[in-house]
């Protein structure tokens, strides 16, 4: 873990009010072991709390967060550019947040760091300064952190993280990760401020999830075959949808079957080459692909569920499809007789 730059600013705003004021730090914090350890903890917690993945939305050239991140990542990796990224971004937010009645202020921690061969630009919002032990240093005119005390990383309210490796070089990857509290309508201002697009839609998320589950394969000690596993996953998602407004939490499914909350999303990024939102609305028709199979040739089409294979109603044998169904036989026989 290497921490390159870090600065903290405050935005003062109460919920229900339209006044806001920006309290900037005048200089970067001096990087030390304690701050490095804190940002490492932030990174690890961020991984667990990610809600969704995005790209920058088009036509954001006049937005401070976008344009300064773009310049910083393109041969202007300087203290001055980092300061511009944070301070000009906060000035822009100060004006925008006044029109969001239920938005509240907080402490904005901007950082540039490297971990596991990846480089990130990060912004996290902390509502409670005691959680991060944030203190104002009047002599230096800056916010500092007492990293010798315990820090409650879980108190991050919202967060933005730009993966510079993906941003600089890999097409078709969602290089921005967001922490965004579910159901917090006021948090749309944060998405607008950091210039992110709408992210991945339900159908693509669902298709990616199905492909990833099929690639990972059976969990260790699963009692059953692959068909049984896919059916269990399908039924688990259906049950969760009913209590979660049509959404599925990928981390809960991952914990349920693999005893590792991060297994599915980690596999998605490392092996499948796509970011998978930790929670998304399920596309029902796409989900059925987990347990339904379709095939067609000229004049013949079939649609089968896993159950048909499990109860041997349908058998694939000797390059043939064998369907053992009295009902289908009777229907076809009747139609043939009616033709005559």
Q: Check whether residue 41 and residue 180 sit in a common domain.
A: yes
pLDDT band at 302 (very low <50, low <70, confident <90, very high): confident
Give the residue-averaged pLDDT of 312-326. Answer: 86
Q: Check whether residue 19 and residue 164 sit in a common domain.
A: yes
Indicate the pTM of the whole model.
0.86
Q: Check whether residue 189 and residue 213 sit in a common domain.
A: no
Q: Which domain holds residue 271?
A: 202-288
Count of other CB atoms within 10 angstroms of residue 104: 18
Q: Do 110 and 86 form a contact (C-beta atoms < 8 A)?
A: yes
- The C-alpha angle with vertex 115 and arms to 205 and 267, in degrees rounded to 5, equals 30
Quick: pLDDT tens for 101-122. 888 899 999 999 999 999 999 9
Q: Check whether residue 144 and residue 284 sit in a common domain.
A: no
pLDDT higher than 70, residue 44: yes
Q: Check whether residue 162 and residue 304 sit in a common domain.
A: no
131, 162, 193: which is the final residue of a domain? Answer: 193
Q: Check whether residue 189 and residue 238 sit in a common domain.
A: no
148, 174, 193: which is the final residue of a domain? Answer: 193
Q: Check whether residue 37 and residue 22 sit in a common domain.
A: yes
Q: Check whether residue 185 and residue 225 sit in a common domain.
A: no
Nearest to 306 by CA among 253, 238, 229, 219: 229
Number of structural domains, the chain?
3
Buried residues in 238-251 as b, exposed as e (16+ CB within 10 A)? eebbeebeebbbbb
Quick: pLDDT tens for 171-201. 789 999 999 865 555 578 999 999 999 999 9
Nearest to 65 by CA among 224, 182, 191: 191
Q: Check whether residue 302 and residue 274 sit in a common domain.
A: no
Q: Check whether residue 140 and residue 162 sit in a common domain.
A: yes
For residue 68, what are the CA distances in angstroms to 15, 64, 176, 244, 302?
A: 29, 6, 15, 38, 55
Nearest to 287 by CA among 210, 200, 235: 210
Q: Check whether residue 7 and residue 131 sit in a common domain.
A: yes
Q: Check whether residue 327 and residue 265 sit in a common domain.
A: no
């Amino acid at each position: 873990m290497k921490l390159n730059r870090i600065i903290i600013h405050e935005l003062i705003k109460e919920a229900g009010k339209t006044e806001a004021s920006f309290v900037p730090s005048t200089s970067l914090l001096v990087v030390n072991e304690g701050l490095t350890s804190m940002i490492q903890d932030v990174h690890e917690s961020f991984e667990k709390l990610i809600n969704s993945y995005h790209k920058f939305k088009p036509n954001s050239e006049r937005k401070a967060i976008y344009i300064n991140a773009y310049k910083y990542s393109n041969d202007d990796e300087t203290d001055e550019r980092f300061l511009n990224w944070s301070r000009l971004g906060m000035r822009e937010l100060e004006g925008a947040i006044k029109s969001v009645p239920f938005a509240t202020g907080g402490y904005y921690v901007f950082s540039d760091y490297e971990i596991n061969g990846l480089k990130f630009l990060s912004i996290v919002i902390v509502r409670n300064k005691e959680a991060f032990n944030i203190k104002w240093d009047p002599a230096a005119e800056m916010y500092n952190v007492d990293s010798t005390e315990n820090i409650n990383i879980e108190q991050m309210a919202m967060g933005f993280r730009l993966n510079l490796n993906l941003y600089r070089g890999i097409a078709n990857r969602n290089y921005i990760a967001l922490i965004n509290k579910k159901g917090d309508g006021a948090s749309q201002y944060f998405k607008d401020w950091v210039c992110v697009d709408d992210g991945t839609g339900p159908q693509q998320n669902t298709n990616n999830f199905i492909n990833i589950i099929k690639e990972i394969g059976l969990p260790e000690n699963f009692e059953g075959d692959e068909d049984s596993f896919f059916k269990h996953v399908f039924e688990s998602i259906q049950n969760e949808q009913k209590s979660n407004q049509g959404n599925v939490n990928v981390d809960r499914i991952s914990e349920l079957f693999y005893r590792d909350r991060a297994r599915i999303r980690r596999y998605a990024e490392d092996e499948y080459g796509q970011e998978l939102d930790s929670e998304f609305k399920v596309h029902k028709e796409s989900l059925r692909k987990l347990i339904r199979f379709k095939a067609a040739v000229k004049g013949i089409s079939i649609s089968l569920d896993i159950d048909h294979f499990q109860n041997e109603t349908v058998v694939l044998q000797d390059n043939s499809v064998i369907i053992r169904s009295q009902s289908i036989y009777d229907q076809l026989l009747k139609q043939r007789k009616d033709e005559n």
